[in-house]
């Protein structure tokens, strides 16, 4: 039986920090599904289709990474996919409290699914999608933070607005 993990997130847009966590998770699990959250409460810059397209391009060289979209309760989605783990990236201590609470709640709902915390490389600990979007909106160079095709999509998006 393959060991499958889910790496959920909004990925608006995907960053080198996300990719670092995906790569690390793919070294630990047979299959990692990068699951794009479709959340009505959030208003992402990119549509779910655009985010999926960017993630697929970003992970195309990682053979055991897959991309999917989900809405609703993460643990239910994970059970439906047959996952044994949920991957969460921790950048800083400030992430820990929220992620710890979510991990305990997920365990309470489904104790067969373990939350695995992975830290990205230290050069990405300050990086998040919100910062990247803001930099791109202000016409700053984001090439050090996202793949080239994502930087291009950000430029296109902000030229329209």
**Residues assigned a catalytic role:** 18, 42, 91, 129
Q: How far apart, in whole angstroms, are the C-alpha atoms of residue 34 and residue 37?
A: 10
Rg over CA atoms, the chain: 15
Name beta bridge partners: 69.
36
Name the nearest CA neighbour of 23 among 15, 74, 128, 102: 15
Strands (E), the chain: 4-9, 31-37, 65-70, 85-89, 114-118
- Rounded to the nearest 10 degrees, the angle between the axes of helix 148-160 and helix 129-137 is 50
């Amino acid at each position: 039986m393959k060991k499958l993990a889910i790496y959920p997130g909004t990925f608006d847009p995907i960053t080198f920090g996300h990719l670092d966590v995906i790569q690390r998770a793919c070294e630990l699990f047979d299959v990692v599904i990068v699951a794009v959250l479709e959340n009505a409460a959030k208003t992402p810059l990119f549509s779910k289709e655009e985010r999926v397209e960017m993630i697929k391009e970003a992970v195309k060289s990682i053979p055991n990474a897959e991309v999917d979209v989900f809405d609703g309760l993460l643990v239910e989605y994970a059970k439906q996919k047959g996952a044994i783990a949920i991957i969460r990236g921790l950048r800083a201590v400030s992430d820990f409290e929220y992620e710890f609470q979510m991990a305990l709640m997920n365990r309470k709902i489904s104790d067969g699914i373990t939350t695995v915390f992975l830290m990205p490389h230290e050069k990405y600990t300050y990086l998040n999608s919100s910062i990247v979007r803001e930099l791109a909106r202000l016409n700053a160079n984001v090439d050090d933070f996202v793949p080239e095709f994502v930087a291009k999509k950000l430029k296109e998006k902000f030229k329209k607005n």
